[in-house]
Amino acid sequence: MVRRLLRRLLLSLLVTVAAASAWAQPAGPVQTERAAFRVSVIASGLEHPWGLAFLPDGRMLVTERPGRVRLVSPDGALSPPLPGAPPVFARGQGGLHDVLLHRDFARTGLVYFCHAAEGAGGASTAISRGRLGEAGIEGLETIFTATPRTGGALHFGCRMVWDGEGFLHLSLGDRMRPDQSQDLGSHNGKTLRLTEDGRPAPGNPFAGREGALPEIWTLGHRNPQAMTVHPETGRIWVVDHGPRGGDEVNLLEAGANYGWPRATHGINYDGSTITPHRSLPGMVDPLWVWVPLSIAPSGAAFSFSAAFPAWRGDLLVGGLRERALVRLSMDGGRPVAEERIPLGERIRDVRVGPDGLIYLLTDSPRGAIWRLHPL
Ligand SMILES: [Ca+2]
C-alpha cells in the first residue's frame, strides 16, 4: 500500500518535472541567411511574459501578463513576484504589459508599467509607476489612464519608450472600436506623448484643438504592440497588428494619421472587406506590410548588437502567430527585405541587452526568456 502510494507520488513528480522542462527552444544551432546562433534559456516557467527591462546592476525586470513582476538575476534565478505591482485587468489580452525604467533610474529608482486597468464603464490602458526598493515596488501610483473605458478584453497595446527630449511615448490599441482610431476625442488607436508624470507633453500636435485630447501624438493605429527607438536617428518606430493580413511597420511623425480603419492592406477575419482603400490622401502609408497573412507582431528592436554584425541596423520583430523572429533589412531608412527565422514559439518581445546579445520573450503559459548567442 505504502509502496504503491510512493510509486504514484514518484510518477506524478516525474510528470511534473517533464512538464516543467517542456519548453520548446530550438535544440540545436539556428542557421539563418547571414548569421548562426544558439538559443539559451535564461529563465522559464513565466506565465505569458510580456515586457523586459535591464537594470544597471545586471539584473532584469520581467512582467507576466496576469499581473506579476519578477527580478531575474544574471544567472537566470527568478525572484518571487514583487509586492506592490499594479493591480491589472487580467482578462483576454488584458493584464500587465510593458515595463520601462525611468531615464535616470540610477538616481530615481522609478519603474513604469503599462497595463489594462478596470474602472467605471469597463477597461482601458493605464500607466503606473513606482520605486523599485528592497520591499518590492514602493509608492505605486497610476499617472495616466486612457479614455474612454470600454467593455471587452482586446487591443490594449501597449509599449512605452522615451524620446530624446525626455518624453514618454505610449502605444494604444483600438479596443476593437476601429472608429475610435480616427477620433481625436479618444486615446484608443493612438500613440501618446507624455511628460514623465503622465501629463500631456508640451507642443503636442493637437493640443488646443476643440474636442481633441492633448496627449495624442499620432492616430489611425489598430493595436501597436511594438514600439522602439532607432538608436542612431532617435526616431520612433511602431509595428502594428493588422486584422487578417495588413500588419504594418510605421515611422512616427507628429500628428500623422496611419489610416486604420479607413485605409489598410488587411481584411476582416471572415474574409469580408474593411475598406476598399489601401492608401488615402492625408494618411501615411506603411513602410512595410505583411499580406496576405499576419505574423502578429509584438516587440521589436533595431539590432546594433556587436554580437551580430551581419544584422547591423536591421529591425527585429517578434512574431506571435508566425512563431518566428522576423528580420527586416533596412536601406535608405526603410525596410527592403524580410527574413523569417522560425523558432517554434510565439515571440512576445525582442530586446538588445547591455551585453550586446539579443533577448526574446516567448508567449505561453510556460513562457521563457531566451538569449541568442552567435556561433
Ligand atoms: Ca496604416
What are the pLDDT tens digits along the chain (375 aa)?
455 555 554 444 443 433 444 456 787 899 999 999 999 999 999 999 999 999 999 999 999 999 999 999 999 999 999 999 999 999 999 999 999 999 999 999 999 999 999 999 999 999 999 999 989 999 999 999 999 999 999 999 999 999 999 999 999 999 999 999 999 999 999 999 999 999 999 999 999 999 999 999 999 999 999 999 999 999 999 999 999 999 999 999 999 999 999 999 999 999 999 999 999 999 999 999 999 999 999 999 999 988 999 999 999 999 999 999 999 999 999 999 999 999 999 999 999 999 999 999 999 999 999 999 999
Q: How far is the CA of 5 from the centre of ligand 1 (A)?
A: 61
Q: How far is the CA of 105 from the centre of ligand 1 (A)?
A: 35
Q: How far is the CA of 3 from the centre of ligand 1 (A)?
A: 65
Q: How far is the CA of 260 from the centre of ligand 1 (A)?
A: 5
Decide if 373 contacts 42 (C-beta within 8 A). Answer: no
Burial 173-187 (b: 16+ CB within 10 A, else e): bbbbbbebbbbbebb
**CATH of span 27-374:** 2.120.10.30
Q: How far is the CA of 215 from the centre of ligand 1 (A)?
A: 20
Q: Which residues surround ligand 1, an ion (CB under 5 A)?
A: 248, 258-259
User: pTM of the full predicted structure?
Assistant: 0.93
pLDDT tens by residue, 87-127: 999 999 999 999 999 999 999 999 999 999 999 999 999 99
Answer yes or no: 221 catalytic.
no
The grid coordinates of residue 259 equal 489610416
Q: How far is the CA of 257 from the centre of ligand 1 (A)?
A: 8
Of 97, 102, 155, 169, which residue is the catalytic one?
155
Decide if 273 contacts 264 (C-beta within 8 A). Answer: no
Domain ranges across the chain: 27-374
pLDDT tens by residue, 209-267: 999 999 999 999 999 999 999 999 999 999 999 999 999 999 999 999 999 999 999 99
